[in-house]
Amino acid sequence: MGFTMLIVEDEETLRLSLRMALRAEGYNVLCTEKGEEALKIVEKELVDLVILDIRLPGMDGLQTMGKIKELDPTILTIVMTGYADVETAVRAMKMGAYDYINKPFELDEMKLVISKALETQKLKMELNRLRRGRMEGWAEAGIVARSGKMKEVLELVEKVSQTPRTSVLIEGETGTGKELIAHAIHNQSARSSKPLMDINCSAIPENLMEAHIFGHEKGAFTDAKTQHKGLFELADGGTVFLDEIGDLSLSLQPKLLRFLETQTFKRVGGTVDLKVDVRIIAATNKDLAQCTKEKTFREDLYYRLKVMEIHIPPLRQRREDIIPLAYSFLDRFNREFKKTVKGIAPKAEYLLEAYDWPGNVRELKNSIERAVLLASGEEILPQHLPWEIRGKESEGTPSHYSLDYSLEEIERIHILNVLQDTGGNKSLAARRLGISRSTLREKLIKYGQYERKD
């Protein structure tokens, strides 16, 4: 596995020779001469190990190390001390450095310390992995991932879960699983025992949003009879999930940016800066880069959020996931509706795999839910799938029901189709079917269908 290391050293010759030697060992090596710069790199890249000079211009080595540990406690650090400075070395070790090395040193000596450190790191990672049972763990969390693309996403999720302060931007089309992934990150992180607060930036009116997020003081506006804590305060120690971040108003964007940079904010009508410890996970199905061009999203905020980016590909770009997902939903809805549909007929599987899924996993889930309700035998058949998935197959045929169906079966399928077409509106469906609402209800109860929402 390719480890990434970061060398922080102001002496150019040493920096370059270390870089060369470590690259020759096959490591991915990043370099900088300044502590401040090192922090930016650690925020942006997934660094495994930092080799750090104690004496740096500007922010010194110990300070830098402390800040790095704050950003990501799993990063190993090796400090380089000069002039037989035992005292500093001891302090570094007390602060959590993995090891130290006295300057001047032989490159081989350094390589040995590094490989020892990486051994430890590898063991730790293995342990974490075992603990979570990898893919089985994901399945338990209700996440299905067969495709290489989705496995990559989950590996990234695993990594960011271990960096509890880094903010994360999740991008993907509607229904790709952004919310699911956001929850997984929180649940796997050190913050999991603390709250996860969700907020949908497009669902709350702009004028209420600020108070909702940051809280308000008594008297801040007409209705503010008492002081009120906002989401950020309620989530202290945990995570805030800002869904549909692309819809956050331009007036709030700088306030969020300030929060991301300083972890501080003011309540509406307040003058004091409050500080809380929360991780921000944002999600969007809009192209934020495009939004910055159209000036509806601030560029600085975009870049600040983009530091850790997770892109979930649309389902049509990872078709291997379709059938495993379909079966996991089949299982779920069998249990939920007390049905015993055992499988999906090959022809139906083919249709599922060939379809483009503009609504992604959510659309697949809804289709399987409906198919489980419709299926009366052991298998999901093509006619149980919505017409857009059956595509060409049903074109031009006014009725595509098999002649083997009983009248009752056809009635059932027809009722459910009409109901789907009216978006679940029962009054409208009853009118179209030419029956009363109560008759419709009776029939639905008879078929064992309930009202459900997603």
Query: In the complex, which residues of this chain contact ligand ATP (CB under 6 A)?
Result: 142-145, 172, 174-180, 285, 325, 361-362, 365
Q: Which two three-digit tokens encode residue 449?
A: 């269908």
Q: Contact at 8 Å (CB) between 49 and 118? A: yes
From candidates 11, 60, 152, 179, binder to Mg ion by CB under 5 A: 179
Nearer to Mg ion, 65 or 312 (CB): 312
Residue with Cβ nearer ligand ATP (278 or 361): 361
Which of the listed partners (ligand ATP, Mg ion, none) does 330 bind, with a CB threshold of 5 to 8 Å by partner kind?
none
Please give the DSSP secondary-structure letter assigned to residue 329: H
The smaller minimum CB distance to ligand ATP, of residues 43 and 363, is found at 363
User: What residue number has its CB nearest to Mg ion?
Assistant: 179
- CB of 98 closer than 8 Å to CB of 117: yes
268 forms beta bridges with: 216
Burial of 234 (0-12, 13-18, 19+ CB in 10 A): middle
Task: Say if CB 166 and CB 337 are below 8 A apart.
Answer: no
Residue nearest to ligand ATP (CB): 177
Distance between CA atoms of residues 397 and 403, nearest Å: 13
Q: Which does 361 bind (CB under 5 to 8 A by kind): ligand ATP, Mg ion, none?
A: ligand ATP
Residue 86 near residue 116, CB atoms below 8 Å: no
Picked from Mg ion, ligand ATP, none, the partner binding residue 362 (CB below 5 to 8 A depending on kind) is ligand ATP
Q: Supply the minimum distance, in Å, between the C-beta of residue 153 and ligand ATP.
A: 9
Name the β-bridge partners of 79. 52, 100
Residue with smaller CB distance to ligand ATP, 98 or 357:
357
What the block records as the tokens of 146 is: 């067969």
Q: How far is the CB of 368 from ligand ATP (least distance, A)?
A: 11
- The item of ligand ATP, Mg ion, none sharing an interface with residue 177, based on CB under 5 to 8 Å by kind, is ligand ATP
- Binding site partner of 313, from ligand ATP, Mg ion, none, Cβ cut-off 5-8 A by kind: none
DSSP per position, 63-111: HHHHHHHHH-TT-EEEEEE-TT-HHHHHHHHHTT-SEEEESS--HHHHH
Return the number of the residue (320 or 421) whose C-beta is nearest ligand ATP. Answer: 320
Give the one entry of ligand ATP, Mg ion, none that residue 144 binds, where binding means its C-beta sits below a cut-off of 5 to 8 angstroms depending on kind: ligand ATP
Q: Which residues would be at the binding site for Mg ion (CB under 5 A)?
A: 179
